[in-house]
Chains A and B, each alone.
Chain A
Amino acid sequence: MFGIYLRPSWFGACFTQYALFFSLSFQIHGDFVLIRGDTVSNMSLTQALQEHKDRRKKDANAIMTMVVKQSKPSPITQQSRLGTDELFMAINPVTKQLLYYEDKAEYSKGFISLDKTLIADNPSVILHNDKQDCYIDICSQEVLSLFTDNFDYQHLRRHFVKGLLVDDIMGYKIFTHEIHSSYAARIDNFRSYDTISKDIIQRWTYPFVPDVLCGSSAIKVERQGTYRASDVTLSRSAQLGSFIFIGQGTKIGNDTKISHSVIGERCTIGSNVTIEGSYIWNNVTIEDGCQLRNAIVCDGVILKSGAVLQPGVILSFKVVVGQQFVVPAYSKVSLLQQPTQQDSDEELEYADSTSGTGELRSDKLNGDIAPDLSETASELGTGGVGYIWKVFEGAYDEEWRHSVAPIPTDKLVKLMLDRDEDEELLTQDGNVISASGELKTDSDGNGSEDDDNEDSRDDYVSFEKEVEATFLRAVHENVKVDLAVLEVNALRLSYNMASVDCGGAIFYSMMKLAVESPHNSASELHRNAADIVTTWQKLLKSFLHDIDEEIEVILKFEEMCLESAKDFAALFPQILHLLYDKEILQEDAILRWADEKEGADESDKVFLKRSEKFIQWLREAEEEEEEDE
């Protein structure tokens, strides 16, 4: 039930996963545990397995249990201590079901979008950004068949897990198991290599720590986390700092300073060498006066005297660095030439993974390649052997994120400043979240009208058309007024309109009908209109509850007269009078309209002037009434 793998596999080879699953599906029956080869863990799987089995008994759709562990991401760099991007997970706290998984969140936007059904379907959801995915999964056989069926699944997390969560295939569910006291982490970049190595030295992976694994006869822990093999040759004046590991048969010269580093077996380290935070594998020769800071040095490398490795340097197998040569920060040096033609990312990944796993190639390197290297020796100083791989444009900025070196302070300061600015922006623009796409999806939003006029106008036009069609049908099919009212009401609800709009729309349809029905003179048109208004006054009236709505009708009529039905322009006062007679419009509404129009432009006053007489008459009638009282 324990597993450990200490050597890092350099580059993830995700493209092989599908093939792996495909071949597995023919062999495995029942539950199985999926652990990456680059995972370091001391967890006991017993409990997680039992949980998975119990869940399976209750719910056959629980096909996978993912092991997670708490680990806080850095607030400044937005990445975990393992160098991976900040991971967002939504977990149901009761059932531990995984509901959401996002490891490529957009930091720049400052938000993530969740499906609202997630919140609707689950009584409680906890959104975590402090969980680390251990890449230990307990899977049931369905996982295999899903991989066989969906051959576009190339990546277990990006495609399979997300696909399952988003598409809800067959109702399959993924659950999580959180570990507390045990350790589990995956090495998939240089930063995690560094972090996990240091965790091992700090004994978080106990009992998988160097002195226990090798037996005490070989390696002993001393104070301040110093692991030293029994037969290390150490100069009296060498200074060993804290948290270091020195393997069997290694020789260390005078006045050499070593701290926070791992040095493998049978290495020879000269005098006055400074080694800080570096990983030196086996059979490495470091001559006098070299300086190494946060570098990884693979098997068989030779550093000639005075060579300097700046932070983040990776030296591949059997590279030779020339005298006094300074290898610039974050450079990767290999005996193999960098593959020059890279058409796509896919190929790049492939190239990386083959040349990175150097062990396969290293025996080839022994003889064949050596001769033709001599001409390029100058690239690594006098007597140097190897090629410095170029870092691609754009990638250079991000190089520090996944490097073995600690994050440079200037980067941290810059990020901190950026973040402060972002936060100011966020506070200025308070509704940054409500403006995002996720909330717009609730389509019946009343609020959307004010921030987006275009939309509501479109809505109104189509609403008007619908109302007109309904009205015409009512006229032609002699539908009862009550039913017509119902229908228009239903339309109003479905378009989420106010009754003001209904009144306007119905009146518009009435007048349009009047205009479109055959007529020869203005008086004939007037009679048409009068007929229609008389027939359908109840319909119109049922949407005109207060004065505002009546004013709206007048405004609508005014608009019509100007634009679509110019025939009415001459008849404006008559129709107004008609509406007044039929008690569709009250005198208050007309007078208020008149008052409002009083202050308007001359062009707007055309109809007011035309109906001046009528209004005058209304005012007088009102005064008379008042006098009567």
Chain B
Amino acid sequence: MPDTQALVNDFLNKLKKRKIEGSQATAKQTAELLRSVISQTRMPYTNQAAALIHSVKAVGERLIAANPVELAVGNVVRRVLHIVREEDLSLTTAAMAGLNLSAESDDEDDTDRDNHPALSAAAIAAASRSTLRPPSLQTLLEDVPDSAAVPHTSSSGGDSEGKSKSADKSSRSRKLKHDVIEAVNELIQDISTCHELIAEQAVEHIHQNEVILTLGSSRTVLEFLCAAKEKKRSFRVFVAEGAPRYQGHLLAKELVTRGLQTTLITDSAVFAMISRVNMVIVGAHAVMANGGVIAPVGLNMVALAAQKHAVPFVVLAGSHKLCPLYPHHPEVLLNELRSPSELLDFGEFSDCLDFGSGIGAPLLHVVNPTFDYVPPKLVSLFITDTGGHNPSYMYRLIADYYSADDLVLERRTTSGN
């Protein structure tokens, strides 16, 4: 598969050079790349799921290593692995159920295409799933047949076609691949529509005449605020500029063009302004399993200010930002130091950076971290595409998206190298 290889290398290069900005774009491109990897994977007769998992993992490792700070890459790789496992499971259970069914009604199975066998297959799959992992509220809900429509139990592709239980192995192999690709397509769809899903909830959170504070620029936040505006809510927004990249300036500009009353403040004025604010709404870089947030630098200060004045601190995050790892995990790189040139002009300070005299090292050192870690106790609410959640609930949400087997994906690979 030379063409996927080229695609992978190209994407790796982009990740390495930090050319892709934003978690959403990265997540989407990762999912699309993995889809083409899956479709190119040659399927063996036996243990096809393992073959798929192997090829996805092989690519995934390299992607994660290319930009370990962008946790969305790892999240999507794990999501895809989870999809493969789920599909495999549901196919096996469906086949088992099909064998039972075919003994009862041999000739019916081709004509009878209503919900009946599908439902039973789904029930079996759900039951087997519940044996695989500890019982949770979600799995309990899934046990009820009607809840098959829960959007993120992404195994629905297999359920509707559970009728071909008597098919031979080759058709089953094609089917697994087909199902997985269907499910990955759904994942891509989820990622690209997460802004709208989050924005739909805006009116429930933003009330008339409120003052909202945000820092830097996040597309999710922009969509969220605009959705509330479209629903005829009237409110004001304070934008902290978000040094050193000053993306808050862009957000303010964008908000003004959409007709929102906007006030721009410096980051250091946040404490002074917070007493007038009704709610802080910010975007996140990643949400960890403990409910902690990796967010653009400066947000921890905002969160502390919000806590001090008892202002709700709301974090918007698409489900692709949910990371199954904990922030103390050795593989999690909490931060990245970007170029100091974002802070100051090299030419202006070149005389302070002279290595030629003295001890051979300049007295001036510029540090430009990209992210802050906001501990879960400072976060009031997460709004994801599935609704609002408490920070303490995040690990449960994550258990629904990821298989426990895939959590330590990188560690195994690095020791292999």
Interface residues of A (CB under 8 A from B): 2, 42, 69-72, 74, 77, 79, 81, 83, 130, 180-183, 191, 194-195, 198-199, 202-207, 212-213, 215-217, 220-221, 225, 230, 242-243, 260, 276-277, 294, 405-407, 412
A260 touching B340 by the CB < 8 A rule? no
In this assembly, does B351 line the interface, its C-beta being within 8 Å of a C-beta of chain A? yes
Q: How far is the CB of B170 from chain A (nearest CB, A)?
A: 39
Given contacts A405-B360, A407-B357, contact A212 B350 (CB under 8 A): no
B-side interface mostly: loop
Q: CA A202 – CA B341 in complex, angstroms?
A: 11
Stretch among B106-114, B331-339, B400-408 lining the A interface: B331-339
A260 touching B357 by the CB < 8 A rule? no
Given contacts A181-B345, A215-B16, contact A77 B356 (CB under 8 A): yes
A217 touching B337 by the CB < 8 A rule? no
Q: How far is the CB of B232 from chain A (nearest CB, A)?
A: 42
B356 touching A191 by the CB < 8 A rule? yes
In this assembly, does B117 line the interface, its C-beta being within 8 Å of a C-beta of chain A? no
Which residues of chain B from 154 to 197 have any CB-CB distance to chain A below 8 Å in the complex? none
A204 touching B341 by the CB < 8 A rule? yes
B360 touching A294 by the CB < 8 A rule? yes
Which residues from chain A contact B417 at a C-beta distance below 8 Å? Answer: 217
Which residues from chain B contact A217 at a C-beta distance below 8 Å? Answer: 65, 68, 410, 413-414, 417
Which residues from chain A contact B355 at a C-beta distance below 8 Å? Answer: 81, 194-195, 198, 406
Q: Which residue of the partner chain, among B65, B337, B339, B359, contacts A205 with CB atoms under 8 Å?
A: B339
Q: CA A83 – CA B337 in complex, angstroms?
A: 28
A194-B355, A215-B66 known; 13 other A-B pairs, CB under 8 Å? Answer: A70-B346, A74-B357, A181-B346, A203-B340, A204-B339, A204-B346, A212-B18, A212-B336, A217-B65, A243-B361, A277-B361, A294-B360, A407-B357
A216 touching B68 by the CB < 8 A rule? yes
A181 touching B342 by the CB < 8 A rule? yes
Interface residues of B (CB under 8 A from A): 16-18, 65-66, 68-69, 333, 336-342, 345-348, 350-351, 353-361, 365-366, 368, 410, 413-414, 417
A81 touching B356 by the CB < 8 A rule? yes
Q: CA A71 – CA B340 in complex, angstroms?
A: 16
Which residues from chain B contact A243 at a C-beta distance below 8 Å? Answer: 361
Q: Which residue of the partner chain, among B338, B347, B357, B359, contacts A71 with CB atoms under 8 Å?
A: B347
B338 touching A206 by the CB < 8 A rule? yes
A225 touching B350 by the CB < 8 A rule? no
Q: Which residue of the partner chain, among B333, B338, B342, B356, contacts A195 with CB atoms under 8 Å?
A: B356
Q: Which residue of the partner chain, among B347, B354, B360, B368, contacts A260 with CB atoms under 8 Å?
A: B360
Given contacts A71-B350, A130-B347, A183-B346, contact A277 B337 (CB under 8 A): no
Best-surrounded residue of A70, A181, A202, A205 (most CB of chain B within 10 A): A202
Write 18 A-B pairs (CB below 8 A) sorted by A numbering.
A72-B347, A72-B350, A74-B354, A74-B356, A81-B354, A81-B356, A195-B356, A199-B353, A205-B339, A206-B18, A207-B18, A212-B18, A215-B65, A215-B68, A217-B68, A217-B417, A260-B359, A406-B360
Which residues from chain A contact B414 at a C-beta distance below 8 Å? Answer: 217, 230
Q: CA A203 – CA B358 in complex, angstroms?
A: 21
Given contacts A217-B68, A406-B357, A407-B357, contact A74 B341 (CB under 8 A): no
B350 touching A70 by the CB < 8 A rule? yes
Q: How far is the CB of A475 from chain B (nearest CB, A)?
A: 73
B339 touching A221 by the CB < 8 A rule? no
A213 touching B357 by the CB < 8 A rule? no
B359 touching A406 by the CB < 8 A rule? yes
Q: How far is the CB of B409 from chain A (nearest CB, A)?
A: 12
Which residues from chain B contact A130 at a C-beta distance below 8 Å? Answer: 347
Q: How far is the CB of B15 from chain A (nearest CB, A)?
A: 9
A42 touching B360 by the CB < 8 A rule? no
B354 touching A216 by the CB < 8 A rule? no
Which residues from chain B contact A213 at a C-beta distance below 8 Å? Answer: 16
A182 touching B65 by the CB < 8 A rule? no
Nearest residue, chain B, Cβ from A185: B346
Which residues from chain B contact A2 at a C-beta distance below 8 Å? Answer: 17
Best-surrounded residue of B353, B354, B355 (most CB of chain A within 10 A): B355
Q: How far is the CB of B30 from chain A (nearest CB, A)?
A: 16
Which residues from chain A contact B18 at a C-beta distance below 8 Å? Answer: 206-207, 212
B338 touching A203 by the CB < 8 A rule? yes
Q: How far is the CB of A309 from chain B (nearest CB, A)?
A: 14
Which residues from chain B contact A72 at a C-beta distance below 8 Å? Answer: 347, 350-351
Q: CA A79 – CA B350 in complex, angstroms?
A: 13
B339 touching A203 by the CB < 8 A rule? yes
Q: CA A276 – CA B360 in complex, angstroms?
A: 9
Q: How far is the CB of A453 from chain B (nearest CB, A)?
A: 48
A81 touching B358 by the CB < 8 A rule? no
Q: Which residue of the partner chain, among B339, B353, B357, B413, contacts A42 with CB atoms under 8 Å?
A: B339
B341 touching A183 by the CB < 8 A rule? yes
Q: How far is the CB of A398 from chain B (nearest CB, A)?
A: 14
Nearest residue, chain B, Cβ from A71: B350
Q: How far is the CB of A45 from chain B (nearest CB, A)?
A: 14
Q: Which residue of the partner chain, among A204, A220, A225, A277, contacts B360 with CB atoms under 8 Å?
A: A277
Which residues from chain B contact A405 at a C-beta distance below 8 Å? Answer: 360
Which residues from chain B contact A202 at a C-beta distance below 8 Å? Answer: 340, 353, 365-366
Which residues from chain B contact A79 at a C-beta distance below 8 Å? Answer: 356
Which residues from chain A contact B338 at a C-beta distance below 8 Å? Answer: 203, 206
Q: CA A215 – CA B340 in complex, angstroms?
A: 20
Q: How far is the CB of B369 from chain A (nearest CB, A)?
A: 10
Nearest residue, chain A, Cβ from B341: A181
Q: How far is the CB of B286 from chain A (nearest CB, A)?
A: 15
A206 touching B339 by the CB < 8 A rule? yes
Q: CA A400 – CA B134 in complex, angstroms?
A: 70
Which residues from chain A contact B368 at a C-beta distance below 8 Å? Answer: 203
Q: How far is the CB of A254 from chain B (nearest CB, A)?
A: 25
Q: How far is the CB of A239 from chain B (nearest CB, A)?
A: 16
Q: How far is the CB of B11 from chain A (nearest CB, A)?
A: 14
Which residues from chain A contact B341 at a C-beta distance below 8 Å? Answer: 180-183, 204, 206
B351 touching A74 by the CB < 8 A rule? yes
Given contacts A70-B345, A70-B346, A198-B355, contact A203 B360 (CB under 8 A): no
Q: CA A111 – CA B115 in complex, angstroms?
A: 93
Q: How far is the CB of A373 from chain B (nearest CB, A)?
A: 33
Q: CA A243 – CA B337 in complex, angstroms?
A: 14
Q: How far is the CB of B185 from chain A (nearest CB, A)?
A: 29
Q: Which residue of the partner chain, among A81, A182, A206, A260, contacts B361 with CB atoms under 8 Å?
A: A260
A216 touching B65 by the CB < 8 A rule? yes
Q: CA A114 – CA B167 in complex, angstroms?
A: 89
Q: How far is the CB of B281 from chain A (nearest CB, A)?
A: 30
Q: How far is the CB of A151 from chain B (nearest CB, A)?
A: 37
Given contacts A74-B351, A81-B350, A217-B68, contact A406 B345 (CB under 8 A): no
Given contacts A83-B356, A215-B66, contact A180 B345 (CB under 8 A): yes
Q: CA A276 – CA B358 in complex, angstroms?
A: 13
Nearest residue, chain B, Cβ from A404: B360
Which residues from chain B contact A74 at a C-beta distance below 8 Å? Answer: 351, 354, 356-357
Q: How far is the CB of B163 from chain A (nearest CB, A)?
A: 45
Which residues from chain B contact A294 at a C-beta distance below 8 Å? Answer: 360
